[in-house]
Chain A
Amino acid sequence: MDQLVELNNETEETVYHFQEGPEGTVIEIDDFSLWYGDKQALFNNRIDIQKGLVTALIGPSGCGKSTLLRSLNRMNDLIEGLRTGGRICLNSQNIFDKNIDVISLRKRMGMVFQKPNPFPMSIAENVTYPLKVDGVRDKNVLAETVERTLKGAALWDEVKDRLKENALGLSGGQQQRLCIARAIAAEPDVLLMDEPCSALDPLATIKIEDLINELRGKFTIVIVTHNMQQAARVSDNTAFMYLGKIIEYGKTQTVFTKPGSQKTQDYVTGRFG
């Protein structure tokens, strides 16, 4: 691909044909741009993420899908020299508003990372961590949460006998499911997943995908993935991003079979990426 020719895609219009969820929009990304210092990474993106559905962000490496995802719970705040433009609204509230408490924002957005990152503590402590930092000390509530979330993350049967053991002793796939359990422990509005299967083997990947299918409806899930088949398998809506711009946002099936944009067509058919 000759990237120089393609760089003018900031002017290109996004193709929309997304599936509307039963409860409407939960996150509204409105004309959102982002700069790392002088370098612009995201260009005027505008999509509505539907409540209760699974939305996949796909695109080649470096297209800004992780950046966009990490903007949703303001994890990018840690980076120095970062600027944003436009708005991202969670339940019609701009999360970049000066009055927003980032900590409580993150409590409403669970996040699962590329590499499993369980804390160096016991399995039970990992799951209850979000509650503990929130000040919950009631043992019954904590124990109940451990069971509920581990069951929710399809991990309960495997670890119920060793909840007090160090979480680092789990296998990679189990660790990632533990991280999902941790992310849903505080009952967030949205679950953000940043390539949750990229560090896992195929069998563990299948388990995570099954889990995502189970969580559908209970949580709004935004998942970034490299793997187009995965996006096709788990998501309701797919956004294709290229060079910091969402090219197409639509029903997953349509995106993969009859895409509205030539670039999407090229990407999903494997012409580049």
Chain B
Amino acid sequence: MNLLKKPVKSGESFKNTSMAARGEPALWTMGGTLALGVLMIIAFLILVVWNGIITFYPGGIEQIILNDGSMIAGEIRRSESYRPSDDILKTVNTEWKEKIRRNKGVAERTLFKTGNYDLYNEDFKWVDEFNIRERTNPENIYYFERVEWGPFIGFIEKVELGGRTDIRPENLADRLESEHEKAVERRQKIGVIEKKKISDINHSLEEERLELKRVELAEGVDSDPYREAKQAYQEKTETLMAKYKKLQDEAENLKQENSQFKLTLKEIGGQKKTLLLSEIVRFYAANQLSLLDKLGVYFSRWLEFLTAEPREANTEGGVMPAIFGTLTMTLLLVMAVAPFGVVAALYLREYAKQGHLVSVVRISVNNLAGVPSIVYGVFGLGFFAYTIGGSIDTLFYPEKLPNPTFGTGGLLWASLTLALLTVPVVIVATEEALAAVPQSLREGSLACGASKWQTIKNIVIPKALPGILTGLILAMARGAGEVAPLMLVGVVKMAPELPFDGYFPFVHLERSFMHLGFHIFDVGFQSRNAEAGKPMVFVTTLLLITLVAVMNAVSIHIRNRLNRRFSAGHF
């Protein structure tokens, strides 16, 4: 029988089947939806990656003379079109007025990063195109990144190195470079003394004080042991104070030395500013940089970003503590959620009698995944920090009270809160992985005389492991990107100390910590100048995405290696 109603050209043999029956519209809808999703993801990635990558690249500095004769110097940030109001248009000369009118009332304006926040009270300035009389790129204008007050853009007026001001101009650049390095070294030395050594002494002082308090709590104020302890405490305190004094002197000397190396700078408007060499992070003559120099600046900024601590309310400097906090928290989260979720799922799937109760439990677990994460934060604060942490404090750290140790937000409580948040993901994934283990394997093991537990341990879990790990990876990704609950249970804008240090017990899970996700929020929306924080938002986002991607890649790699072991081998 001929299926064709009439002879057709090749390739048209199925024309008679209606389009809907062939699923053509469905195919197009599905394909289109997927394409739209992929497009949005790509656009998002391009936005983040591009903005993240260009932020640290040094631009040139342009000098602008405005119509009223005043001058501005700065890095160009971006340009945009806008519609100037009538008030502004009144001040515009006729030539520009005509131009703007022809352009339907739209004019261009450019955002300059002018720096010099201490002098101008702003970091950025919009300049209208019709307000510009002249633009130049002065050769000898410098860009200084300072430890405080953000960047300074201006000219070097006077140089004083070691008390001498008579430096020959041809040596100036090299001398500045080397003296700057030395000054930074001294600054870092002061930092070590103030942060590390003096904090060592403070730590010892605190230990002594707590020891005395312990004796007081145990024996009472009116007892011999207390009087002895008090005596010892005073002696030790004196020695420590003497050490403290010595270190302070040492730091003072270095500061004294640093104060002999300074620059007098002049901004474009003529205001002068004296700056210690040691207060400069890096400086460069923006308009004289070769490509290589620019790349040098670029990578040194990245290095600082990745390894240094934040400065300037997080808008400058690095994010090392936040990287560290994010990684540690995610690791702890996985360590907490893995046994908890897997064991719960094992019982639910392998041992529990499948009935109404198990169904209710399963539905509740699934619903937990839909609870707003901030609610977990509230729960974590109330249950972990205040209830459990508070009890730990009264039991083990009574001498520190009323200052809380575990009784407030911290790394441990944040990890446990996120573990709770992600446990449904792990339970669901583990249950599915366990259900996917063929019944024939279980029967084979049981028929060999293995008990149920031996079967689960030797056959079921190894076979389900890749699926279980997939669940853990999902949980990890979810946990690493979560911010809202963390704000309640231990993440802070600026953590004074890392959770690991040289003081016993070396790991301090009770400490508050920094987190990249919260850092993005803080830099972008809580800093003094949103414009200054904006580039950092993108860089930090890029970093967080990279970090999550790397963690996922590592765990997927581990899972795939296990997968190869437990699935049909192709030798």
Contacts and interface: CB of A to CB of B under 8 A. Distances in A.
A50 to B, nearest CB: 22
Interface string A98-125: 0000011011011101010111110000
Contact of B570 (A113, A134, A169, A183): A169
Interface in A116-151: 117-121, 129-130, 132-134
B23 interface: no
A45 interface: no
Interface in B434-483: 438, 440-441, 443-451, 454, 458-459, 462-463
Given A119-B459, A165-B571, A168-B568, A133 B451 contact: yes
A133 B569 contact: no
Interface string B477-519: 0000000000000000000000000000000000000000000
A-B pairs, 10 with minimum CB distance: A107-B449, A111-B447, A130-B448, A133-B450, A166-B569, A117-B440, A117-B444, A169-B569, A168-B568, A120-B566
B565 interface: yes
B449 A119 contact: no
Interface string B520-553: 0000000000000000000000000000000000
B567 interface: yes
B566 A129 contact: no
Contacts of B451: 103, 133
A82 interface: no
A113 B443 contact: yes
Contacts of B566: 120
A75 interface: yes
A106 B447 CA distance: 6
Contact of A179 (B444, B459, B571): B444
B235 to A, nearest CB: 61
A182 interface: yes
A118 B463 CA distance: 12
Nearest to B457: A133
Contact of B462 (A73, A80, A120, A165): A120
Contacts of B440: 113, 115, 117
A186 interface: yes
A129 B441 CA distance: 13
Given A106-B449, A120-B462, A133-B450, A165 B569 contact: yes
B565 A166 contact: yes
A113 B443 CA distance: 9
Interface in B334-376: 353
Contacts, number: 82
Interface string B554-571: 000000000001111111
Contacts of A118: 444
B458 A110 contact: no
Given A117-B438, A133-B458, A75 B446 contact: yes
A133 B444 contact: no
A80 B468 CA distance: 27
B447 A129 contact: no
Contacts of A182: 444, 448
19 contacts: A75-B443, A75-B446, A103-B450, A106-B448, A107-B449, A110-B447, A110-B448, A113-B440, A113-B447, A117-B440, A117-B441, A119-B441, A120-B566, A130-B448, A133-B445, A169-B568, A182-B444, A183-B447, A186-B448
Interface residues of B, number: 25
A117 B458 CA distance: 14
Interface in A56-111: 73, 75, 78, 80, 103-104, 106-107, 109-111
B356 to A, nearest CB: 14
Contacts of A168: 567-569
Given A106-B447, A129-B448, A129-B450, 15 more contacts: A75-B443, A80-B353, A110-B448, A111-B444, A113-B443, A119-B441, A119-B444, A120-B462, A130-B449, A133-B445, A133-B454, A166-B568, A168-B568, A169-B570, A183-B448
Given A75-B443, A113-B444, A186 B463 contact: no
B441 to A, nearest CB: 6
Of listed B443, B445, B446, B462, residue having the most chain A CB within 10 A? B446
Contacts of B447: 73, 75, 106, 109-111, 113, 183
Given A120-B463, A133-B458, A106 B444 contact: no
Nearest to A111: B447
Scoring B443, B449, B454 by chain A CB atoms within 10 A of each residue's CB, the highest score goes to B449
Contacts of B565: 120, 166
A186 B449 contact: yes
Nearest to B439: A78
Contacts of A120: 441, 459, 462-463, 565-567
Contacts of A78: 443, 446
Contacts of A132: 458
Interface in B250-309: none
Contacts of B441: 117, 119-120
Contacts of B571: 165, 169
Nearest to A133: B450
B443 A117 contact: yes
B302 to A, nearest CB: 45
A231 B440 CA distance: 24
A83 to B, nearest CB: 17
A119 B568 CA distance: 10
B153 to A, nearest CB: 66
A252 B287 CA distance: 102
A121 B441 CA distance: 12
A134 B451 CA distance: 10
A133 B443 contact: no
Interface centre among A75, A115, A120, A134 (most CB of B within 10 A): A120
Contacts of B567: 120, 168
Most buried by A among B444, B445, B447, B458: B447
B188 to A, nearest CB: 55
A117 B440 CA distance: 6
Nearest to A129: B448
A166 B446 CA distance: 21
Contacts of B450: 103, 129-130, 133
